Amino acid sequence: MSRPFVNWSGSLTFTPSDYAEPGDEDEVRELVLRAREAGTTLRPVGSGHSSSPLVRTDGVLVSLARMSGVVDKARERATVRGGSRLKELGEGLYDAGLAMDNLGDVDYQSIAGATATGTHGTGLGFGNLSTQVTEVRLVTGTGDVVDVSPTRNPDLLPAVRLSLGVLGLVTQLTLDVQSRYELRRRAWCAPVEWTLDHLAELQHTNRNMDFYWYPRSDLTQIRTLNRADEPPESRMWANRRVLESGLWNEPRELRTGPTHRTIPQNRELRFEEIEYMLPSEAFPACFAEVRRRILSRHRRTVGWRVLVRTVAADDIWLSNAYGRPTTTVSCLQNTSLPYEEYFRDMEAVFRQHGGRPHWGKKHWLTAGELRPLFPRWDDFQAARRRLDPDGVFLTPDLARLLEGA
């Protein structure tokens, strides 16, 4: 039955002609075959946390929310259903003595949705979540069930690990996992100059490190995560000026616990976001210009903060960390405030520094601008035409994103 769809931030609304929640792979196949025969589009949706129009369709919107849970687990791998939410997955793996190595800032997403856009956390040693995917099972645009792994259709693996939902409905994924362990989260504030001066050291001496910059105060909040069973990280957290200012004294220990309860945060306040992935060497100049422009042009209207994280290089064709160690910059804006002028101005800076957009967040790029940013772009498009020859998953939004370059 059809009903209006509204994404998490509220900026994407539409009414599909139909909404389906299949219970098994046969029902998924039937939905695809029916859409193909009727010449309508079909879009898979996870938990609706993307704010780019990846899931918008006037055809059928399909959620695999009923197809969730851990199917099979071994020492260092777990096979899970595509509709599983990260939060439940974290608990399920924990009960089995396992854990995903890294996560993003929240755990509301589905695993298929999160990996479809290259959702990432932070840490020099960690790729995005798609890099944790070792096998994928999907129902393609022809209604076929295809298994992709290092031994089955291996040529498709670099395409299906991050697919924007245009290669098929991902019903099952196998993830690289670890034995569970505990992390300790800390946070403290410091002047932005201090954080930038010490950034490389902070990134190298902590398992995970990121920072928020607050344009209103021009201060930063540094956040670190380290294994609880290892000695505390170095005590380099602030300079004398900071300590004497009375604003901070030393890092606050926020939480210690299993990875899936320590890495993600609760996000009650709704926001819009643009995030670009930069070659790490371009970060200092890019951030300097972001800061200069925000302070000179946008401080009056910018209500919130800018987040800086790192992602390890990978070899996934549409990954925004493809082939390069990456530093990401995201600008967040409360949903009650206008964002477009601000985000477009930031996008211009990010692009000048070789940035690639986060697929699930606001950006204004189309295929012609995206193709030169992804060395294996044409290989991905060839895989797409092979797995979805009739364009069942290709809405006008996705055609603008992927075709005609």
Q: DSSP letter for 20, please.
A: E
- Smallest gap from Cβ 339 to ligand FAD, in A, equals 14
- Smallest gap from Cβ 249 to ligand FAD, in A, equals 28
Closer residue to ligand FAD, CB minimum distance, 6 or 295: 6
User: Where do contacts with ligand FAD occur on this chain (CB under 6 A)?
Assistant: 8, 43-50, 54-55, 64, 82, 104-106, 109-110, 112-114, 116-117, 119-120, 164-165, 169-170, 267, 358, 360
Beta carbons within 8 Å of 400's beta carbon, 6+ residues apart: 366, 367
Closer residue to ligand FAD, CB minimum distance, 47 or 333: 47
- Smallest gap from Cβ 163 to ligand FAD, in A, equals 6
Closer residue to ligand FAD, CB minimum distance, 127 or 251: 127
8 A C-beta contact, residue 52 and residue 362: yes
Closer residue to ligand FAD, CB minimum distance, 140 or 226: 140
Considering only CA atoms, which of 174, 185, 206, 18 is closest in space to residue 89?
A: 174
Sign of CA dihedral 67, 72, 74, 77: negative
Q: If you search the block for the tokens 């607050």, which residue do you land on? A: 214
Closer residue to ligand FAD, CB minimum distance, 112 or 302: 112
- Measured between alpha carbons, how far is 249 from 226 in angstroms, rounded to an integer? 20
- At residue 45, the 3 state secondary structure works out as strand
- Smallest gap from Cβ 208 to ligand FAD, in A, equals 12
- Measured between alpha carbons, how far is 57 from 65 in angstroms, rounded to an integer? 18
- Measured between alpha carbons, how far is 309 from 347 in angstroms, rounded to an integer? 17
Considering only CA atoms, which of 45, 53, 100, 90 is closest in space to residue 69?
A: 90
Closer residue to ligand FAD, CB minimum distance, 114 or 192: 114
- Measured between alpha carbons, how far is 359 from 17 in angstroms, rounded to an integer? 25
- Measured between alpha carbons, how far is 302 from 337 in angstroms, rounded to an integer? 8
- Smallest gap from Cβ 215 to ligand FAD, in A, equals 20
Closer residue to ligand FAD, CB minimum distance, 93 or 263: 263
- Measured between alpha carbons, how far is 258 from 183 in angstroms, rounded to an integer? 6
Closer residue to ligand FAD, CB minimum distance, 31 or 242: 31
- Smallest gap from Cβ 310 to ligand FAD, in A, equals 12
Beta carbons within 8 Å of 396's beta carbon, 6+ residues apart: none
- Smallest gap from Cβ 136 to ligand FAD, in A, equals 9
Cα 110 off chain centre by: 11
- Smallest gap from Cβ 28 to ligand FAD, in A, equals 9
Degrees to nearest 5, angle at CA 291 with 364 and 325? 65
Closer residue to ligand FAD, CB minimum distance, 144 or 250: 144
Query: Quick one: CA torsion of 71, 137, 47, 10, rounded to 10 degrees?
Result: 180
- Smallest gap from Cβ 74 to ligand FAD, in A, equals 23
